[in-house]
Structure 1
Amino acid sequence: MAIMEYWQHLFFTASIILGFISFCKSFIYFLKWLWVMFLRPPKNLKEYGSWTIITGSTDGIGKAIAFELASKGLNLILVGRNSVKLESTSMEIRERHHVKIKHIVIDFAKLSTEETRKRIEGGIAGLDVGILINNAGMGYPARFLHESDLEVIDSVLKVNLMGATWVTKAVLPGMIKKKKGAIINIGSGSSVVAPSYPLGTIYSATKAYLAMFTKSINLEYKTQGIDIQCQIPLYVSTKMVKLKPSVFIPTAEIFGKASVRWIGYGEQLCLPYWLHGVQWFLLQPIPDALMNWYILRFFMEGRRRSLVKQQTLINLHNCLND
């Protein structure tokens, strides 16, 4: 009996110790999270260089980041496919901030690798480029893979994969030469947080490429003084997402401010917006099977609405031509 009581007491004591250790680890993690999200001071981004190049800079997250970086006094090289929108965005920024702005007109979906490389290298020649924001991205309506338009798939691959790859390759030599720089790749929760992303397969797969691309080149160049990071937004209220702002869906401006605060810190993959971090934490205990069931139903409904809208437009077009 005494032996049994001894082992029961030992088990009880060990359980308390392990529980206390677990609590301490969780508490320390929470304190670290509070520091990183709310108290950690942002880097002095001008130390990287006086110019920042931003792809996909005329809408959504890219435009918001451009405004935020301009507020820090950084000169901007805006990259986009529409020269009119580039000029309009530049005028908006100049009205609020006294910075220099250059444009590079590129449609990643149409240009060859060689043409892309030459335009980027020509556009940044002679400039002290310290930061690259690879934000350009392309989505598409919820569809099964066999339903997806071949041209759309090709464009998504070129914009989301090749664009980021070749722009990064173009700016790296200058950063290596001066032994400093920062590269930020804008990823997606579809490739990291969700266990799968049905009916958006190509999009999520390209964003998964960005995550691995980031982790790998970070190892290649961290000894060269180049900070490389993949920032993971969940839903953000933009034209591409088409969702209204809510508790867990920030505006592009709110996300842009959070994004800039993280530039230069060591986390290779991060969720810059604090409520996205809370959302990710809440999603972790949900079994993958349940998440997959919900996500499939969610996108099936999106597909249904999209097809109805598409058919309505076709019917309207036919009526106008009759």
Structure 2
Amino acid sequence: MHTMRETFFLLLSTQPIWLLLLSLLGFFTILRHSTTAVQWVFRVFLRPSKDLRYYGSWGVVTGATDGIGKSFSYQLARAGLNLILVSRSSTKLKAVSKDIRSQFPNTKVKIIELDFTEDDISAGMAEFKKVIQDLDVGVLINNVGITYPNASFFHEVDEKVWMNVLKVNVKGTTWVTKAVLPRMITKNRGAIVNIGSGAAVIVPSHPLYAIYAATKAYVDQLSRSLHVEYKHWGIDVQCQVPLYVATEMASRVASVSRASLFIPSADDYVSAAIHRIGYEPRCTPYWAHSLQWCFARLLPEAALDMWRLSIGLHRRRKGLEAMKGIEGYKQE
């Protein structure tokens, strides 16, 4: 009688080598995908959030009065951080600050009015540096960002529009990051979260929004490089890559009217986003977005290019029709 072990090896010895290699390849492929699935479940649903107060007692949020930035402001306050809110609207800053302090009485809030579309923001940045110089800033959320008002071919984009996209998405993110880093280096601790976009990472192209996608690619590469540069200083730099979130900007650009299974509200997105701070250098925090990224990887790039182009062209037609309607109204 053969033992089970002897039977197993006897069976192996009678199989052709190509079948054994193919079976081994299949086994390791299944093992790799299974491991990836288990890691995804752990990261998204089981891994504990970091205590953000470890990084410092103050958090900075840019673009803090609308959408994702506004939700970050409230949820960082809930996490126990004092806040420095940056936005171009003084009225909105005061309203958000007042509401946060009413909900979280122990939270200190400072506001800074700063419009990153201005040609010279040196005065605003000087005020920002003055405000933070004696504060224990531990978390920076670089959320501020803008895109085109309408889908447009590259040659159609007005100079003022694309210059503003560069100023806000590239210049604004860079300036604020440079301002907070020295203090974080001194104390060997900090977390910087830059809000990227699936338009620059998940899909191979974003036609008719080319400059916006390029600026978000800058944010992604900047984040990864800074992660490597400053990790040994205890500074966790991360690029978060959302897809559509039900915000005013998404409503204006992509006609996203409400939250759904694959389009979270700003609060739901930020709840997932805070859970991921301090871990991977790049992540897609919301679980449904990460599934969409997984599906996108299975498709040929040419198919994704055609799909994104068709969406861009459709939005361009809708934008032109809307403009004609406005012009017709004015003529009457």
TM-score range, shorter chain: over 0.9
Conservation of the 8 A alpha-carbon contact between 1:113 and 1:166: no
Tell me the secondary structure at the aligned position of residue 63 of structure 1: helix
Q: Report whether the alignment pairs 1:134 with 2:148.
A: no
Aligned-pair distance for 1:111? 4.7
- The aligned counterpart of 1:308 is 321
Further displaced range: 234-243 or 216-225:
216-225
Aligned-pair distance for 1:95? 2.6
Aligned-pair distance for 1:48? 0.6
Q: Report whether the alignment pairs 1:160 with 2:169.
A: yes
Deviating beyond 6 angstroms after TM superposition, the runs of 4 or more aligned structure 1 residues are: none
Q: How far apart, CA to CA, are the structure 1 residues paired with 2:137 and 2:119?
A: 23
- The aligned counterpart of 1:253 is 267
Q: How far apart, CA to CA, are the structure 2 residues paired with 1:252 and 1:164?
A: 20
Among 149, 154, 165, the residue aligned to 2:158? 149
Further displaced range: 13-22 or 174-183:
13-22
Amino acid at match of 2:91: V
Amino acid at match of 2:270: G
Q: Report whether the alignment pairs 1:89 with 2:96.
A: yes
Among 220, 230, 238, the residue aligned to 1:211? 220
- Cα RMSD (Å) of the superposition? 1.4
Q: How far apart, CA to CA, are the structure 1 residues paired with 2:14 and 2:225?
A: 49
Tell me the secondary structure at the aligned position of residue 241 of structure 1: helix
- The aligned counterpart of 2:6 is none
Among 114, 125, 128, the residue aligned to 2:122? 114
- Percent of aligned positions that are identical: 44
- The aligned counterpart of 1:222 is 231
Amino acid at match of 1:275: A
Output the TM-score relative to the length of structure 1: 0.95
Tell me the secondary structure at the aligned position of residue 255 of structure 1: helix
Tell me the secondary structure at the aligned position of residue 250 of structure 2: coil
Conservation of the 8 A alpha-carbon contact between 1:116 and 1:166: no
* Deviation per residue, 1:165-212 (Å, 9 max, x gap): 000000011101111000000000000011101000010000000000
Q: How far apart, CA to CA, are the structure 1 residues paired with 2:226 and 2:163?
A: 25
Q: How far apart, CA to CA, are the structure 1 residues paired with 2:290 and 2:229?
A: 28
- The aligned counterpart of 1:271 is 284
Q: How far apart, CA to CA, are the structure 1 residues paired with 2:209 and 2:267?
A: 25
* Deviation per residue, 1:214-245 (Å, 9 max, x gap): 11111111111100000000111110011121
Among 174, 189, 200, the residue aligned to 1:191? 200
Among 283, 292, 295, the residue aligned to 2:308? 295
Amino acid at match of 2:134: G
Conservation of the 8 A alpha-carbon contact between 2:115 and 2:121: no
* Deviation per residue, 1:52-100 (Å, 9 max, x gap): 0000010011111111111111111000000000111112222322211
Q: How far apart, CA to CA, are the structure 1 residues paired with 2:173 and 2:123?
A: 14
Amino acid at match of 1:214: S
Q: How far apart, CA to CA, are the structure 2 residues paired with 1:67 and 1:114?
A: 28
Conservation of the 8 A alpha-carbon contact between 2:65 and 2:96: yes
Q: How far apart, CA to CA, are the structure 1 residues paired with 2:139 and 2:76?
A: 10
Further displaced range: 231-240 or 284-293:
284-293
Among 40, 43, 50, the residue aligned to 1:43? 50
Q: How far apart, CA to CA, are the structure 1 residues paired with 2:99 and 2:319?
A: 33
Q: How far apart, CA to CA, are the structure 1 residues paired with 2:327 and 2:123?
A: 36
Tell me the secondary structure at the aligned position of residue 127 of structure 1: coil
Aligned-pair distance for 1:12? 1.4
Q: How far apart, CA to CA, are the structure 2 residues paired with 1:317 and 1:105?
A: 34
Among 169, 179, 183, the residue aligned to 1:170? 179
Q: How far apart, CA to CA, are the structure 1 residues paired with 2:30 and 2:93?
A: 51
Q: How far apart, CA to CA, are the structure 2 residues paired with 1:59 and 1:285?
A: 34
Tell me the secondary structure at the aligned position of residue 151 of structure 1: helix
Further displaced range: 286-295 or 161-170:
286-295
Q: How far apart, CA to CA, are the structure 2 residues paired with 1:7 and 1:281?
A: 39
Q: How far apart, CA to CA, are the structure 1 residues paired with 2:119 and 2:65?
A: 19
Amino acid at match of 1:172: L
Output the TM-score relative to the length of structure 2: 0.92
Count of matched residue pairs = 314
Which blocks of at least 5 consecutive residues in structure 2 are unaligned?
1-12
Q: Report whether the alignment pairs 1:13 with 2:20.
A: yes
Aligned-pair distance for 1:255? 0.4
Conservation of the 8 A alpha-carbon contact between 1:51 and 1:128: yes
Conservation of the 8 A alpha-carbon contact between 1:54 and 1:77: yes
Q: How far apart, CA to CA, are the structure 2 residues paired with 1:169 and 1:111?
A: 18
Which blocks of at least 5 consecutive residues in structure 1 are unaligned?
1-5
